Chain A
């Protein structure tokens, strides 16, 4: 297994853990983003932290996005005060539609697989213009285009 395969497996595995914590039956793009933020890979980590995004900041922004989107339908998050359900027995193994798209976009940014680097995965997630990730970034006050450009620069070696 190549280093990039190992990295992808690690991120999907950590993403599954994030989805499990979230009570989600599938691993979505925002779970992969959380996984990347929790990881130690230098280029992606630096790009995210330079935009003020660490794991906790993303988690908090995701919570705000959820509440904000519910509010748009006139539903406050506190409508049902039921006890927190037990977690699923095991973390999910299925990738959701948003995660599949993010991976496809990441892979599509290189012509040969051997050129694939961890930052391409983050780039694939950041290429979404619609959905939970861009809405969350907006709510966190992050300029998505600027962050994407920053990640791109780490790939072309223009950024320190």
Chain B
């Protein structure tokens, strides 16, 4: 486990890996936050507006998962 605190000294590698990790974290937070909002009775347009994306985009990304999880979804 030598050098575990700073395994990749090149700065670009660390910075690019941070971008990839932040995207993963953002996706994870989005999944959790959208589910929380829909369980709390938010509508697709409200969630879409909060995320700054279209209703179609948020629906396409999350509807199947939330339906499978048994979340009651508002039509509007």
Interface size class, chain A: 20 to 34
Asked if A160 is at the interface (CB within 8 A of a chain B CB), the reply is: no
Contacts of A76-100 to chain B: CB distance below 8 A? 77, 80, 82-89
Establish whether residues B32 and A82, one from each chain, have CB atoms under 8 Å apart when the complex forms: yes
A36 → chain B closest CB, angstroms: 21
Q: Of B8, B29, B71, which is within 8 A of A82 by CB?
A: B29
Q: Which residue of A has the minimal Cβ distance to B68?
A: A89
Report the interface size for chain B: residues with CB under 8 A from the other chain: 34
Asked if B50 is at the interface (CB within 8 A of a chain A CB), the reply is: no
Q: Mark A100-144, 1 if CB is under 8 A from B, else 0.
A: 000000000000000000000000000000111001001111000
Establish whether residues B31 and A23, one from each chain, have CB atoms under 8 Å apart when the complex forms: yes
Establish whether residues B65 and A66, one from each chain, have CB atoms under 8 Å apart when the complex forms: no
Establish whether residues A70 and B25, one from each chain, have CB atoms under 8 Å apart when the complex forms: yes
Establish whether residues A70 and B18, one from each chain, have CB atoms under 8 Å apart when the complex forms: yes
Q: Of B13, B17, B35, which is within 8 A of A86 by CB?
A: B35
A62 → chain B closest CB, angstroms: 11
Q: Of B3, B20, B36, which is within 8 A of A132 by CB?
A: B20
Establish whether residues A135 and B18, one from each chain, have CB atoms under 8 Å apart when the complex forms: no
Contact A70 to B31, CB < 8 A, known contacts A88-B65, A130-B13: no
Asked if A73 is at the interface (CB within 8 A of a chain B CB), the reply is: yes
Residues in chain A near residue B15, CB distance under 8 A: 72-73
Asked if A75 is at the interface (CB within 8 A of a chain B CB), the reply is: yes
Residues in chain B near residue A83, CB distance under 8 A: 32, 35-36
Residues in chain A near residue B14, CB distance under 8 A: 69, 72
Chain B contact residues, CB within 8 Å of chain A: 1-4, 7-8, 13-22, 24-25, 27-29, 31-36, 64-69, 71
